[in-house]
Amino acid sequence: MNPDLIDFIQADTPKINPDIAEGLITKHIQYGEAYLDDIFRAVLKDLDHGMGFKYLGFERMSPADEFIETTKGKNNGPRQYNLARTDTYMVKLKFEFDNEIIEKPLSLPFISQAGTLKVFGTTYAVTPVLADRIISITPPVIFIRLMSVRLNFEKLNYYFMADNKLEYPPVVVSEVYKTNGDAKTPMVFYLLCKYGVKGMFKHYFDADVIYDYDDQLTRDKYPEKDYVICKTAGISPKRTRIRDYEKTKIGFAVPRNKFTPTMKAVISGLYYILDLYPNEIAMEDFEDQYTWRVRLGYYLFGYGQNPEKLNDDILNHLSSVDQYIDEVMRVKFKKINMDIRDMYQLFFVIIDQFENWEAQNLNQESNLYPKELSILYYLYQDLTKQIVNLVYQLKKKNKFNEIKINDVKEAIRAKVKTNKINIINKTHGEVNVVNYSGDNMIFGVTQLLVPQDKTTKLRNGNDGINLEDPTKRLHVSTAEVRTYSGMAKAAPDGSTRLNPHLKIDHEGGIIRDESLREMLDKVQSRITRK
């Protein structure tokens, strides 16, 4: 063949991204141990200062030690070993407490060619997940993906009176604590548990908000030019179980220059709570965090329980919430230009930005450019959850500073399972059986892609495509990120195939091809919903 023709074809043909073609997990897994170690250190750091429990890191076990661990019988029973191949290797976690070293074996996945691994003799492929970078905005829901938990935030409209005019800003709610019932909790509840009423307004608004009984908030005391007088609208929330409902008599005088949309949203959330318990929260208890913790306990667990027990339960819950934002997550937030120091600040930012994010992302739900190809987060999710649960358990046992070495050992034994990774094929949507007989692994293995909403196999009902889903709307990013021309029967929107020519950064972030930007932007302007 004419060499000039060959050169022309090569120059005109898009180059396949070798990281994608060879299986993206094979590149990311090289940093897997460092990734896990960073998370473990960040999550366990507080226990060092709180109770002297130290995480010392982990090291690979020798083949001999791994064999002994793998073949040992349960409860001193006969030695057993499953001969079916499972691609894992063992590391030894090391902890220190009361000057004693505690070791715990942990199995980690070993990834083979094209991102495959065997679990009990069956070959699976570890597939990249097309996910948002921490925050996913799909109105009317905002999804936050943290290291140890995933939360959905929604809004409900609630009313209050401001200068005798009806205000109805959104009350942001989320099921931070999972219960069997409806436990979508106003985020303001958590801010009150942390700071009290005046502390909340001072910390987040630098505002001196005054509260008193309605008849005391007169214009003589609080001139209209300086203050907005807020009162309840007298609407009983749906969760209220009070038959003879009487509205709260407590009002607020808010400095007029501080009466922003965010202030309105916080006051709306506060009145939602006050209207739930109109006769139960005395004004003199507004700055007592205990009062708010007990009411949060009633909100989550119902009436009829001992207040002291509720307070203890909520303290344990808040202790767990405190762990959601660690050093790893702070770094991740900084990469998306958000300086988030703790979970309460995140709650406030969501209250502050909820409607702005909704407006900015209207008709942008199907835009794939802000997303990333994530693997390690999902692959190691069960392992990181174990460490988070260990922290929660140790803090619970250390409640009265009486924890002993045996308590620590028992907590590690109960919460950190050595072979937890072996069930990855049962619960992880990004791990799927390889049903491909060809020798080109791109088409049948490495090109596969998993949408963010398909990362768990514990789904119920119909998994078919909802054409009313705004994330399914046409967007030019589909042509660059996914493979619309190689659509699977089960996913005719092309959401399960990755473009092998896609450019990505070292963390899996999507990089637009600048040579295509002008053309694609023109196309998008024509197909965008007006």
Task: Give the DSSP H or E segment for 484.
Answer: none
Report the first-to-last Cα separation within the chain, whole angstroms. Answer: 51
Please give the pLDDT value at position 525: 92
The two three-digit tokens of residue 291, written as one number:
């009062």
Residue 49, Cβ neighbours under 10 Å: how many?
8
Please give the pLDDT value at position 181: 64
Round to whole Å and give the CA distance between 528 and 530.
6
Beta bridge partners of 229: 253
Return the amino acid letter for 61: M
- Are 447 and 498 spatial neighbours (Cβ–Cβ below 8 Å)? yes
Round to whole Å and give the CA distance between 251 and 255.
13
Task: Give the DSSP H or E segment for 150.
Answer: strand 150-157
Average pLDDT per block of 10 residues along the chain, 530 residues long: 87 90 95 93 80 93 92 75 91 95 96 94 95 88 88 92 94 88 88 97 97 94 96 80 76 97 97 88 94 93 87 89 86 91 96 90 80 94 91 79 88 94 90 88 91 71 62 87 80 86 93 94 87
Contacts of the segment 399-406: beta carbons below 8 A, 24+ positions apart: 399/312, 401/51, 403/51, 404/98, 405/97, 405/98, 405/100
Return the amino acid letter for 377: Y
Task: Give the DSSP H or E segment for 436.
Answer: none
The two three-digit tokens of residue 246, written as one number:
């009487």
Phi-psi region of 508 (alpha: psi -120 to 50; beta: other; left: phi over 0): left
The pTM of the full predicted model, rounded to 2 decimals, is 0.83
Please give the pLDDT value at position 461: 46
Residue 525, Cβ neighbours under 10 Å: how many?
9
Round to whole Å and give the CA distance between 269 and 187.
8
Please give the pLDDT value at position 460: 47
Round to whole Å and give the CA distance between 498 and 23.
11
Q: Which of 147, 511, 85, 115 is nearest to 346 (CA)?
A: 147
Round to whole Å and give the CA distance between 251 and 232.
7
